Amino acid sequence: MVSTIRFAIPRRLLILPLLIFSTALASYPAHADPATIDWNAAAKQDIKFAADSIRTSHAGAVSGQLNVTVPLESGVLADTVEAEKIQTQQDYRRLMTRFIASFGDPHTGLYLHLTTHAWTGLVIDRIAGQYRVIWSEPDWPTPLPPKNATVQSCDGVWIGTYLKTNVAPFVNHSTEYPTTFSELARQTMFDTGLGWTPKQCVFTLQDHSTKRFDLPLRSVPDNVSKERIKEIRQQYTAKAKPVGLYTLANDRHWVGMPDFNGSVSAAAYENLYKQLATLKKSGWIIFDLRGNGGGDSSWGTRALQAVYGTEYGEKLGNTATYSKAMIVNQATINLFKRFASLPEYAASKDEFDHAVQKLEAAQRAGDKMAIVEDMTPADATTLALQASARPHGPRIAAVIDRGCFSSCMNFLQQIESISDTVVLGEPTIGYSPYGEINEFNLPSGNGAIYIPSAVYTSLQATREPFMPDIAYPGNIADDDALMKWVNGILTSLKPGQKKP
């Protein structure tokens, strides 16, 4: 008989109000003159603080997870030496960003007041194995290659090598993920203070000729408005439709889930549950999870309860992860007490209170970590088998992309427990088993680091991307084209079939 577990185990990420980067930072406010700051002293102080904090407060480090301990120790060796050479603000930013990015997991985060402050006028992307121009700004004061031109090289090396050498060390999407080089390409032409934009690149044009273009930067917002940058990025950055229910076709319903942030979307989700409960018990429900970076996954679980009933919905909620261990310290206890006090997490209050009791007991016992929710692997496997067959109701499809992370992955695990669920879109980045983020202000006052206090155990391998059953071949940010394609795919599927 399967052992019972008290609560589904939601996952949380940095979209929580208390973790948004709004903390007043101590010594050096964002507007301080960089020339007045001793960047060498700040670097040595902050890199040591970051390493010590991760070593003692990261659930993966304390529990001995290789995906944390290896980059931690190798990063400390390299970056402690590098810190001695730091002279400028850009040196400092590159050092700190490279150290945190080496963990390859957005749950381990850094805030340094970085913003886009210059642009080359181009956006490039990796498409079908080639790097192409997907945007070339009209009326730019210097010549630019046209849209669809192919990038050959930048600053004297092949573009792939340029991205791996100059951009990848500062981005927390590890290079083994299917979408990483696309993500690196999209970022490389924007200057955020890390010095990674190329000075010139060689392009192959439509007539098969090659041409070198200089790529001087133009200032944001002095020469290019922030609104213009946002408008351009929206053309290729996917985001699910707003929380709600939309008609795709007869007996096919599209559900927008762009976030699991109760402080923003609670009312919309409550209305959604009422609508889902009234649907006919046939057809399809398509959960649109594009760009959902996390929050509280119980918002997704409650949607499953509305469709299939409380009992089966709760069973699905318990299939995602079967164990949760947490760092035992006062900061983690305070974090959970804070969660329990917030109205947007009322549905999970019992879970928070239960975890606080476990953490306080472990603190009294002198333990470094505490298991706050647990199920044996055998029971987890049995539960997954029990949940694999829908008792009734519509079939599920999910649309995912590289922006589906943390609690979004947790919800995806729940719906993939149903054997005939179909996943469409593009691969995610690697699965992270971490969550429940604590904030640590850097002692220099230049920013903050964000460290996960919880580690989850699931049937999904750590750092394994979630792959679609059927990959979308177009621009996944284009709602109309995507929805038309999804409708065609669903029409072609027979009962129980996951591919045409």
Backbone angles phi and psi of 474, in degrees to 5: -110, -160
Query: pLDDT digits over 98-120, tens only?
Result: 999 999 999 999 999 999 999 99
Q: What is the pLDDT of residue 4?
A: 29
Q: Is 20's pLDDT higher than 60?
A: no
Q: What is the pLDDT of residue 30?
A: 53
Euclidean distance between CA atoms 221 and 121, whole angstroms: 13
Q: What is the pLDDT of residue 460?
A: 87
Q: What is the pLDDT of residue 28?
A: 44
Q: What is the pLDDT of residue 171?
A: 95
Euclidean distance between CA atoms 405 and 212, whole angstroms: 38
The count of residues in the chain is 500
Query: pLDDT digits over 359-401, tens only?
Result: 999 999 999 999 998 888 888 888 888 888 898 899 999 999 9
Q: Where are the domains of the chain?
A: 17-111, 118-219, 244-437+450-490
CB burial of 111-131 (b: ≥16 within 10 Å; e: otherwise) equals bbeeebbbbbbbbbbbeeeeb
Q: What is the pLDDT of residue 21?
A: 31
Q: Is 149's pLDDT higher than 50?
A: yes
Q: What is the pLDDT of residue 27?
A: 42
Backbone angles phi and psi of 283, in degrees to 5: 75, -145
Does CATH place domain 244-437+450-490 in 3.90.226.10?
Answer: yes
Q: Give the range among 151-160, 215-224, 333-342 with minimum mean pLDDT.
A: 333-342
Q: What is the pLDDT of residue 45?
A: 97
- The helix/strand count (H/E) of the chain reads as 15, 20
Burial bucket for residue 233 (CB in 10 Å: 0-12, 13-18, 19+): middle
Does CATH place domain 118-219 in 1.10.1840.10?
Answer: no
CB-based contact 62:369 (threshold 8 Å): yes
How far does Cα 151 stand from its chain's mean position? Answer: 28
Beta strands 434-441; 448-457: pairing state: antiparallel
Strand order in the sheet with 422-425: 244-249, 252-256, 284-288, 395-400, 422-425, 470-471
Query: pLDDT digits over 46-77, tens only?
Result: 999 999 999 999 999 999 999 999 999 999 99
Structure-token pair, residue 123: 């956006």
Structure-token pair, residue 127: 């498409």
Query: pLDDT digits over 251-309, tens only?
Result: 999 999 999 999 999 999 999 999 999 998 889 999 999 999 999 899 999 999 999 99
Q: Is 244's pLDDT higher than 90?
A: yes
Q: What is the mean pLDDT of residues 398-406?
A: 97
Q: What is the mean pLDDT of residues 148-175?
A: 97
Look at residues 82, 78, 83 and name the one whose alpha carbon lies nearest to residue 39. 83
Q: How confident is the model at residue 31 (pLDDT cuts 50, 70, 90)?
A: low
Query: pLDDT digits over 438-490, tens only?
Result: 999 999 999 999 999 999 988 889 999 999 999 999 999 999 999 999 999 99
Looking at per-residue pLDDT, the higher value among 33 and 267 belongs to 267
CB-based contact 257:272 (threshold 8 Å): no
Q: How confident is the model at residue 318 (pLDDT cuts 50, 70, 90)?
A: confident
Tell which phi-psi region holds residue 483, choosing left (phi > 0), alpha (psi between -120 and 50) or beta.
Answer: alpha
Q: Tell me what the pLDDT averaged over the chain comes to.
A: 91
- Beta-strand ranges (E) seen in 386-426 are 395-400, 422-425
pTM of the prediction?
0.90
Provide the percentage of residues in the chain whose pLDDT is more than 90.
80
Provide the percentage of residues in the chain whose pLDDT is more than 70.
94
DSSP string covering 296-361: -THHHHHHHHHHH-HHHHHHHHTTS-SEEEEE-SHHHHHHHHHHHH-GGGGGGHHHHHHHHHHHHH
Sign of CA dihedral 424, 429, 433, 437: negative
Query: pLDDT digits over 185-205, tens only?
Result: 999 999 999 999 999 999 999
Structure-token pair, residue 233: 């990025």
Residue 370, amino acid: A
Q: Is 1's pLDDT higher than 60?
A: no
